[in-house]
Copies of this chain bind each other. A is one copy, B any other.
C-alpha cells in the first residue's frame, strides 16, 4: 500500500512525531511523508502516533492508495528529500 501522511502537531510533540514517521515512511516535506507500507505496519504506526499526539489538538491525515501509479506527484521549488540524509 502506498500512503501519504501529513501531520499537524503541537511544537512540543513535533520531534517525537517526526522520528516516529521517519521510521516507517520517507520524509518529503516539513510535515509530509510518503511511502510503501503494509497494512499491519500502518496500524502499528497509527497506534504509536496516537500515543504521542493529543487527539483534541493535533491531527494526522493519511491518504492511501493500493497502487502508487494511480497518483502523480509534482514538486515546485525545493525538494527537501535531498536533505533527508543530513538530518
Contacts and interface: CB of A to CB of B under 8 A. Distances in A.
A51 to B, nearest CB: 11
Contact of A80 (B29, B30, B59, B71): B59
B61 A72 contact: no
Interface string A62-73: 111111001111
Interface in A29-87: 29-32, 46, 49-50, 53-67, 70-80
18 contacts: A6-B29, A8-B78, A28-B61, A50-B76, A55-B76, A55-B78, A57-B77, A58-B77, A59-B75, A59-B78, A59-B80, A61-B74, A61-B75, A62-B74, A62-B75, A64-B71, A64-B72, A67-B70
